Structure 1
Amino acid sequence: MPNSETPKAQAVQQMFSEIAPRYDLLNRVLSLGVDQRWRSVAATLALEPAPTRVLDVATGTGDLALLMKRLRPEAEVIGLDFAAPMLERAREKAAQLELPVTFIEGDALAMPFPDASFEALTVAFGFRNFADYAQGLEEFYRVLTPGGRAVILEFPPPPAGLLGRGYRLYFERVLPRIGGLISGKPEAYRYLPASVARFPKPEALAAMMREAGFRVRYRLLTGGIAAVFVGDKPYA
């Protein structure tokens, strides 16, 4: 998540802390369950090189971290987030599923890990909340081993065409109402479409990842509603 000292970071931290109890339910309802399929795509790509240490940044309630541990039980999986209530929920889920995943409170822009600590790194729907995208990518590159892989799953700005118009209508008008009704925090679900609208287009984010040193490829999911980016850190 963003640097925890900035006003944006403090606001985002408070917002996600407040919606933590209903976060999983809302993800399923508001995405019609498609978010789970998107996370499966991200997990498969991250685990493709058979990593032994994996970091899930902005882990939230731990869905992606737990999925990767289930898919690759021999790997050590760590989840990082700066919203303590989210991490409490993640730890509860890990205990219920009997999956040994470590969840750590920390700042994604100044991660508490040495250089070259992980062979794979993921972030699902949290990167757009970073206060500084370039700094976040530099941190990803720093903590990855040579040959390591970063996978970013995000909502790009709505695509063009009929699907994009329908998606924009849902995202801007319907989602905030449903999210606010279920969570009691309508401002959090007004923030979501606004943060997506401000997010870089896929080709722009790919260019930023290349600038950070990654070899990059990406693909659009569900007609461009989501996108997954793969950045491989060169060996030399």
Structure 2
Amino acid sequence: MTNPAAIFDDLAPDYDENGYHRALAETLVAALPRSGRPATVLDVATGTGVAAFAALRHLKPARVTAVDIAGSMIARARESAAVDDPTGVISWHVGPGVPAPVAGQSVDVVLCASSLHFLGSAALGDWLRVLRPGGRAAFTLPAAGHFRPSGVFAELVSPDLPIPADERQAAEVAVTAGFTEVVARRHETGGDHPKAVFLVHAVAPVQGASEAP
């Protein structure tokens, strides 16, 4: 039986070596609207913490909760935090990302870089649970045609979340879950091993927002 935590534990020592995940997280977070300082940010499947650290730089939140199933990933994140988060804004948690270890409607921003295709559609529902009305989610999805998982990684991909081929399909993942104001755009990287992903930004619905005053 595949053990996801053990698989990602094994990846931890070299996870940041090529800079791809750091650059992608930076792009994802930097694209969030600056509509005031968020009080709380949740980074789901944080890995080595690259999206959580990007949130500190771009969003300047009062508090960040970062969770990952792999203890070795969190250990690497804690090492980086000595420099990237000297005041301890981020709290690190080892455990499953779904359900997230936060209360309902307690979060202003949810981040998830490079992991939703492993977590599946249940993650989207959980983000709607934890987000305050009007809160924002920012996540990535791999692009069909560029995503070719093999071996144990193929076994980890959630069967209930379609891998999108274009921006419309990427946005539909969030729309179907119940998010509003969904924007998806394709993001490509070059080099010897080019990759393409979709960056998706969405808003948790506000009760009665569409009703006339």
Normalising by structure 1, report the TM-score.
0.72
- Matching residue's letter, 1:14: A
Contact 2:55 2:61 in 1 (8 A): no
Instruction: Tell me, yes or no, if the aligned pair for 1:60 and 1:87 is still in contact at 8 Å.
Output: yes
**1:156-213: CA deviation from partner (whole Å, max 9, x where unpaired):** 222xxxxxxxx67xx78xxx9xxxxxxxxxx67xx37x959x8521533422321221
Matched position secondary structure for 2:56: helix
Alpha-carbon distance, 1:135 to partner? 1.1
Does 2:24 align with 1:38? Answer: yes
Counterpart check, 1:148 vs 2:119: no
Aligned to 2:103: 114
Quote the Cα distance in structure 1 between the aligned partners of 2:39 and 2:49: 18
Contact 1:17 1:86 in 2 (8 A): yes
- The equivalent residue for 1:15 is 7
Q: Which runs of 5+ in 2 are unaligned?
A: 190-194, 208-213
Counterpart in 2 of 1:62? 49
Pairing 1:229–2:200 present: yes
**Partner amino acid, structure 2, of 1:88:** A
Distance 1:73 1:209, change over 3 A: closer
Stretches (4+) displaced over 3 A: 202-205
Confirm or deny: 8 A CA contact 2:107 2:135 kept in the other structure. yes
Gaps of 5+ in 1: 1-6, 159-166, 177-186
Corresponding residue SS for 1:230: strand
The residue aligned with 1:87 is: 74
Matches of 1:74 and 1:225, distance apart in 2? 29
Counterpart CA distance in 1 for 2:68 and 2:57 is 20
Greater helix fraction, Structure 1 or Structure 2: 1
Partners of 2:111 and 2:9 lie apart in 1 by: 21
Structure 1 residue 18: Cα displacement: 1.1
Measured after TM superposition, the shift of residue 76 of structure 1 is 1.3
Alignment match of 1:220 (pick from 164, 186, 199): 186
Matched-pair identity in %: 25
Shift in Å, 1:232: 0.4
After superposition, residues 91-170 of structure 1 pair within 5 angstroms as 91-97=78-84, 98=86, 100=88, 101-130=90-119, 133-158=120-145
Measured after TM superposition, the shift of residue 60 of structure 1 is 0.3
RMSD: 2.9
Matches within 5 A, 1:181-192: 191=153
Distance (Å, rounded) in 2 between the aligned partners of 1:16 and 1:99: 28
Q: TM-score scaled by structure 2?
A: 0.79
Please state how far the C-alpha of 1:58 moved relative to its aligned partner. 0.4
CA distance in 2, matches of 1:68, 1:39: 9
* Distance change in 2, residues 1:89/1:37 (3 Å): closer
CA contact (8 A) 2:16 2:22 kept: no
Residue type at the aligned position of 1:115:
G
Q: How many pairs align? A: 195
